[in-house]
Structure 1
Amino acid sequence: MHYWKGLEAVPAGYGPSVVTLGNFDGVHRGHRAVLRRLVDAARERGATAVAISFNPHPAQVHRPGTCPPLIMGIEDRIDSLAESGVDALLMIRYTLEFAQATAEQFVKEVFVDRLGARAVVIGHDVRFGRDNEGDFDTMVELGRLHGFEVLGIDDIGEDRRWSSTWIREALVNGDVHTASDILGRPHRMRGEVVHGAARGRALGFPTANLSTDASGIIPADGVYAGWLVDEAGVRWPAAISVGSNPTFEGVSRQVEAHVIDRPTEAVEDFDLYGQQVVVEFVARLRPMVAYRGVEALIEQMRDDVENSRAILAAD
Structure 2
Amino acid sequence: MQVRTSMPINNEPCVLALGNFDGVHLGHRRLLEHGLRQAEELGVDLSVLLFEPHPLKVLHPERGIQLLTTNQERLNYFEKIGVDTVFLIPFTREMADTSPEDFVEKILIPLGAVRVVVGFNYSFGAQGKGTPELIQLLGKKHGFGVSVLQAQMLEGRVISSSSIRKALLQGDIPLAFSLLGRSPSLSGTVIHGEERGRLLGFPTANILPAEDLLIPKRGVYAVWSTIDDRCVSGMMNIGMKPTFHDMYGISVEVNYFDYDGDLYGRELTVHIKERLRDERKFNGINELLLQLKTDKMKAESLLKECL
TM normalised by structure 2 equals 0.95
Which residue number corresponds to residue 120 of structure 1? 116
Paired with 2:164 and 2:88, the residues of 1 have a C-alpha distance of 23
Is the counterpart of residue 243 in structure 1 residue 243 in structure 2?
A: no
Name the count of aligned residue pairs: 304
Superposed, 1:33-112 pairs within 5 Å as 33-112=30-109
In the alignment, which of 158, 162, 166 is matched to residue 161 of structure 1? 158
- What SS class does the counterpart of residue 211 from structure 1 fall into? strand
Paired with 2:268 and 2:230, the residues of 1 have a C-alpha distance of 10
Contact preservation (8 Å) 1:188, 1:216: no
Contact preservation (8 Å) 2:22, 2:68: yes
Paired with 1:98 and 1:248, the residues of 2 have a C-alpha distance of 48
- The residue type paired with residue 52 of structure 1 is L
Paired with 2:209 and 2:33, the residues of 1 have a C-alpha distance of 35
Structure 1 unmatched ranges of 5 or more: none
Paired with 2:122 and 2:250, the residues of 1 have a C-alpha distance of 37
- The residue type paired with residue 245 of structure 1 is K
- Tell me how far 1:176 sits from its aligned partner: 1.9
- Tell me how far 1:216 sits from its aligned partner: 3.0
- The residue type paired with residue 239 of structure 2 is G
- The residue type paired with residue 3 of structure 1 is V
- What SS class does the counterpart of residue 15 from structure 1 fall into? coil
Deviations 1:230-271 (A, max 9, x none): 2x23220001111012111154321111111x2xxx64xx22
- What SS class does the counterpart of residue 188 from structure 2 fall into? strand
- Tell me how far 1:175 sits from its aligned partner: 1.4
Q: CA-atom RMSD, angstroms?
A: 1.5
- Tell me how far 1:6 sits from its aligned partner: 2.7
In the alignment, which of 281, 288, 312 is matched to residue 272 of structure 2? 281
Paired with 1:186 and 1:5, the residues of 2 have a C-alpha distance of 29
- What SS class does the counterpart of residue 280 from structure 1 fall into? strand
- Tell me how far 1:160 sits from its aligned partner: 1.3
Superposed, 1:179-258 pairs within 5 Å as 179-211=176-208, 213=210, 216-230=213-227, 232-249=228-245, 250-258=247-255
In the alignment, which of 141, 144, 152 is matched to residue 145 of structure 1? 141
Deviations 1:144-175 (A, max 9, x none): 11001111211112121111100110111111
Paired with 2:157 and 2:55, the residues of 1 have a C-alpha distance of 25
Paired with 1:212 and 1:117, the residues of 2 have a C-alpha distance of 36
Contact preservation (8 Å) 1:212, 1:254: no
- Tell me how far 1:96 sits from its aligned partner: 1.3
- The residue type paired with residue 121 of structure 1 is V
Is the counterpart of residue 134 in structure 1 residue 125 in structure 2?
A: no
- The residue type paired with residue 275 of structure 1 is R
- The residue type paired with residue 126 of structure 2 is R
Which residue number corresponds to residue 18 of structure 1? 15
- What SS class does the counterpart of residue 93 from structure 2 fall into? coil
Deviations 1:35-82 (A, max 9, x none): 111111011001111111111111111111114311111111221222
Distance 1:213 1:89, change over 3 A: closer
Is the counterpart of residue 2 in structure 1 residue 2 in structure 2?
A: yes
- Tell me how far 1:212 sits from its aligned partner: 5.1
Identical columns (%): 34
TM normalised by structure 1 equals 0.92
Paired with 1:13 and 1:218, the residues of 2 have a C-alpha distance of 41
Paired with 2:225 and 2:113, the residues of 1 have a C-alpha distance of 41
Structure 2 unmatched ranges of 5 or more: none
Which residue number corresponds to residue 272 of structure 1? 263
Which residue number corresponds to residue 175 of structure 2? 178
Distance 1:278 1:117, change over 3 A: same
Distance 1:126 1:215, change over 3 A: closer
- The residue type paired with residue 179 of structure 1 is A
Contact preservation (8 Å) 1:228, 1:257: no
- The residue type paired with residue 4 of structure 2 is W
- The residue type paired with residue 239 of structure 1 is M
- Tell me how far 1:215 sits from its aligned partner: 6.2
